[in-house]
Structure 1
Amino acid sequence: MQAIIARNGLETSEPVKAEVKGSIPSWLKGTLLRNGPGLFSVGNSEYNHWFDGLSLIHSFTFDNEEVTYRSKFLKSETYKRNIKADRIVVSEFGTMVYPDPCKNIFARAMTHFRNIIPDFTDNNLINIIRYGQDWYASSEVNYINQIDPHTLETVGRVNYRNHIALNLATAHPHYDKEGNTYNMGTAIIGLGGPKYVIFKVPAADSDKDSKKPALRKVQQICSVPFRSTLYPSYFHSFGMTKNYFVFVEQSFKLDIVKLATAYFRGVNWGSCLKFDKKDSTFFQVINIKTGKATSICYHADALVVFHHINAYEDDGHLVFDIIAYKDANLYDMFYLHNMTKETDNFINANKDFSPPVCQRYVLPLNIQKDSPKGTNLVTLTDTTAQAVMQEDGSIYCKPDTIFEGMELPGINYNFNARKHRYFYGSRLEWSPHPNKIAKVDIVNKTHIEWEQKNCYPSEPVFVASPEAVEEDDGVILSSIISSDPSISPFLLILNAKTFEEIARASIPVPVHMDLHGLFIPGMVK
């Protein structure tokens, strides 16, 4: 695995047919889109971090019980500038570069300080998101790149700031059944001071309307001021229930001054994120209809969170599940000099790594001011999570631990914002390379796994069966690569109930490890 993790990926511009073993369900029709880093060197220059690699987008299309595959590099402005120069000329998360090495220190400073916040790369390598009927490759910056989901061609770049005042935005939005998209971003510079912003992009309401960018109708739902002006919380995702948004204002923070001066000081943007283990974590609960944040102060011990699993309301409580860490060492693990170490050396170098833990927090919504101090206000009987009234009227929250050692979580998205029983994810066992995928039963606190020697799965994606009623009635899709040259990359299809393999589609061309993506039902060509 170490030999292939940082190799440059290859485009497969035209669709190629996979060799199918087993039986693909006849109802499975659509396209699985995947995104992730795929180009780690340009000319003689190399990136430092796995999250820096140039975006390579993949598609697996299911039709007539067959699978076709194709892949293309995202033709972002970053990609085009690097390829034209035949070297890396645009800085990324873990790699700071200077396009003109002859610039003196004062010229570098003046160039960078024209804007307090730098203009980031548009290398959108994290996820695929939908606004209206438009599909975008996304990361966490103000730029997103529209793509054609059929051909994977890059349509063009969009700047959030042309539609809403944002400097950063997540690559993990939420969708409702009406086709609306909800997302969250950070406005560092703008009227009203620095704040977190939650916004809605309405669904396209007609064929004519669908030909215009959906983002032009973006609506700001609410804004929440930074708790600390110069140290906003980092966030990668957020939670959403029927009536509320929940935002984890965590102890993993962005240093605005360091970010603004990173280029001048010759350090990468990744070094501007710092974990404050002495700080508390705060849970912001915002009413979707009114846009108002609750006045109740919910807080917990310091933690780091990247991925929410799900959130829902239950008998006067807001329940949400996250993958939590005790520190921020996860990002350091993905520096390429760590990822390319042999397994034993990697373990020895990362003995203090905080493993991912699935934790459930429960926030009572109807709190009386005269509630006894020191009392646990959680009345649900199916959790050990606590919310304890403090002397100052705040609520100290302690989580219920559900599962350890899993990342890249997913659910049956039909149960998003609803009470769920199952989630799926990639198993991490002392390695940045997941070697198993698993299904967790939250009620029984049991799990089942799929694994194959020398095989490394991507994030599992659940696709529900037609007319499904039970939560786990469907299939799991995962793209698999192998360090064994005798095993071709393949798309794995599992029965979501039993986790038994029902089919695999071997791809006759190289496939690169990815990060996130989604399934577009019915989209075939």
Structure 2
Amino acid sequence: MDRRRFLRTLISSTAGLALGATALRSAPAFANDPAQFAHGLQAHPWLLGWRGVSSETLGPATVQLQGRLPAGLAGTLYRNGPAWSERGTLRYDHWFDGDGMVHGWHFNGDGSLTHRARMVATPKFTREQKAGRFLYPAAGTSVPNAQAVRNNDDANVANTSVMALNGRVFALCESGSAFEVHPDSLETIGPVTWRPDLAALPFSAHPLVDRDGSVWNFGSISLMGGAGLLVWHIGKDGQLRSADVIATPGRGYLHAFTMTDTHLVFVLAPFDFKESGGSFFERMQFAPQRAANIAVVAKDAPDKAQWFEAPFAAIYHFGDAHRSKDGIVVRAVRRDNMDEARSPMKEAMAGDGAHATNGHSTLVELHLDLRRGQARWQDTGISTVEFPLFDPRTPDSRAARLYAPTVDGASNTPYFNAVAAFDVERGRRQVWRYGSDIMAEEHVFVPRPGSRNPDDGWLVGTLLDPVNKRSGLAVLDARHVQDGPLAQAWLPYAVPLGFHGTFAAQA
């Protein structure tokens, strides 16, 4: 059997369990009530971050930047997140379920900023718009009378992140294909098939760019009811270099991964399924009594893995990974409450502002001894952070400086109100607090053109001001975060909180 046929056969043996076995089983609806959310929003304005949109497009809106944009910062910040969360009498119960909306924040070069946003026209979204109701299974909400799907892309919401590669832009989700959108208009071009025999297979939401410009990513076959990792390698030119399947010891949930110059690192959190029906996250139960399985994959042999075990950890997002004397050190954000990890901001989705919490999170280090085959976790003493990013130009011979939203001082919302830079090795922190009412999202690192020095660049991040019902963007000097924004702009409207994005520099 040739390699491609073997790969397809291996994946197909589990694909039948995908959305069919875990998400299509008949179950009562556990969805929220839109009226209840609207009532909660009146009492808690910060719930604006979880209010869905009712228009397929927003903008374009052009606003003036306050302050001075640094010379050399030119391009577009693309962001993605769940945006369409209600239809009729049904509101999604889980934050991950809303259909994706891609945002483009474009620096015009004349001191102004233009924002536009557009829903990703996936098959799911297009058919549900026509029907006027939710038709397909969701990751975390039981949808009544859900229709059968042919493959993962029938239920793909394309709502988590954005990848820019070779002049192209892609909306990403963890359970299906990348959906290409136009870099300027954001109109949907369609799902990407990297190779015909790999159509509609998971291409996750956290691809990593290597130093040669190529992209590594994974697809989790555990989300399809089986076990295994599909390892993708896409060239700088946007063409597939390789796709390999690594068998895993069992089911393990992972949302992202990290890498050094020579290795990829995957941390799989074991889970079980309830026998009763329901959506994936309703049925999934983390299994903290079992060890996490950790795969270390050499980039020059992406079809093989060295396996490690460490105590259970529920992780969505990773910072950097760097070489150490004995192997590799990985930094990640551990979610410490299992129910909250399974359904973040669940109360906010329901409009329950009185009990909503962002949960407790801890920045931890995973120490991997490659020679002895041992793994251990170590706390850093840093908590209440998420979405850590860093300058990827940092040599993997040392730890990178991490940039992440955090909470600083009093806050009137159960969300992040500040951004911080962490030098974990030296125990140093710089923080900028936006205020008690402002909610701060992920801040992307943008290198200064022409510079080769790590951390010489800017942080570009998005904000939500629920009191004034507006969304905004801030630019900070990455080396002097504590000095606050160099430039800032506010839109005349608010957009839902999203997850991840990328900055595409102007050519």
Q: TM-score range by the shorter chain?
A: 0.7 to 0.9
449, 460, 468: which is aligned to 2:451? 468
Q: What are the Cα deviations for residues 133-170 of structure 1, in whole angstroms up to 9, with x where unaligned? A: 43211111123211012111111123568343774332
Tell me how many residue pairs correspond in the alignment: 453
388, 406, 411: which is aligned to 2:385? 406
SS in 2 for 1:169: coil
SS in 2 for 1:81: helix
Give 1:15 deviation, angstroms.
2.7
Q: Following the alignment from structure 2 to structure 1, what is the Cα–Cα distance between the partners of residues 379 and 333? A: 12
- The 5 A counterparts of 1:249-268 are 249-251=268-270, 253=271, 255=273, 266-268=277-279
Q: Relative to 1, partners in 2 of residues 1:141 and 1:502: Cα closer, same or farther, differing over 3 Å?
A: same
Q: Is the 8 A contact 1:2 1:340 kept in 2?
A: no
Question: Structure 1: 5+ residue runs without aligned partners?
Answer: 101-107, 205-213, 259-264, 368-393
SS in 2 for 1:5: helix
1:211 is aligned to none
- TM-score, normalized by length of structure 2? 0.81
1:317 is aligned to 327
Identical columns (%): 21
Q: Following the alignment from structure 1 to structure 2, what is the Cα–Cα distance between the partners of residues 397 and 420? A: 17
Q: Following the alignment from structure 1 to structure 2, what is the Cα–Cα distance between the partners of residues 197 and 40? A: 30
Amino acid at match of 1:467: G
- TM-score, normalized by length of structure 1? 0.79
Q: What are the Cα deviations for residues 193-214 of structure 1, in whole angstroms up to 9, with x where unaligned? A: 842121211122xxxxxxxxx4
Q: Relative to 1, partners in 2 of residues 1:155 and 1:418: Cα closer, same or farther, differing over 3 Å?
A: farther
1:426 is aligned to 405
Q: Following the alignment from structure 1 to structure 2, what is the Cα–Cα distance between the partners of residues 406 and 416? A: 24
1:27 is aligned to 72
Q: Relative to 1, partners in 2 of residues 1:28 and 1:254: Cα closer, same or farther, differing over 3 Å?
A: farther
1:175 is aligned to 209
- The 5 A counterparts of 1:204-223 are 204=237, 214=238, 217-220=240-243, 222-223=244-245
Q: Relative to 1, partners in 2 of residues 1:120 and 1:82: Cα closer, same or farther, differing over 3 Å?
A: closer
Give 1:402 deviation, angstroms.
4.8
SS in 1 for 2:125: helix
Q: Relative to 1, partners in 2 of residues 1:502 and 1:46: Cα closer, same or farther, differing over 3 Å?
A: same
SS in 2 for 1:322: strand
2:9 is aligned to none
SS in 2 for 1:413: coil
Asked whether 1:201 is paired with 2:234, we answer yes
SS in 1 for 2:281: helix
Asked whether 1:123 is paired with 2:106, we answer no
Q: Following the alignment from structure 1 to structure 2, what is the Cα–Cα distance between the partners of residues 399 and 442? A: 12
Q: Relative to 1, partners in 2 of residues 1:332 and 1:405: Cα closer, same or farther, differing over 3 Å?
A: same
1:504 is aligned to 488
Asked whether 1:287 is paired with 2:270, we answer no
Q: Following the alignment from structure 1 to structure 2, what is the Cα–Cα distance between the partners of residues 287 and 333? A: 33
Moved more, 146-155 or 165-174: 165-174
Of structures 1 and 2, the larger Rg is shown by 1
Q: Relative to 1, partners in 2 of residues 1:492 and 1:133: Cα closer, same or farther, differing over 3 Å?
A: closer
Q: Relative to 1, partners in 2 of residues 1:356 and 1:319: Cα closer, same or farther, differing over 3 Å?
A: same
Q: Relative to 1, partners in 2 of residues 1:287 and 1:166: Cα closer, same or farther, differing over 3 Å?
A: farther
123, 127, 133: which is aligned to 1:77? 123
1:278 is aligned to 289
SS in 2 for 1:136: strand
SS in 1 for 2:479: coil
Q: Is the 8 A contact 2:222 2:253 kept in 1?
A: no
2:263 is aligned to 244
Q: Following the alignment from structure 1 to structure 2, what is the Cα–Cα distance between the partners of residues 173 and 396? A: 24
Amino acid at match of 1:478: G
Q: Relative to 1, partners in 2 of residues 1:340 and 1:417: Cα closer, same or farther, differing over 3 Å?
A: farther
Q: Following the alignment from structure 2 to structure 1, what is the Cα–Cα distance between the partners of residues 337 and 426? A: 28
505, 510, 516: which is aligned to 2:500? 516
Asked whether 1:439 is paired with 2:421, we answer yes
Q: Relative to 1, partners in 2 of residues 1:173 and 1:119: Cα closer, same or farther, differing over 3 Å?
A: closer
377, 384, 394: which is aligned to 1:415? 394
Give 1:290 deviation, angstroms.
2.5
Question: Structure 2: 5+ residue runs without aligned partners?
Answer: 1-44
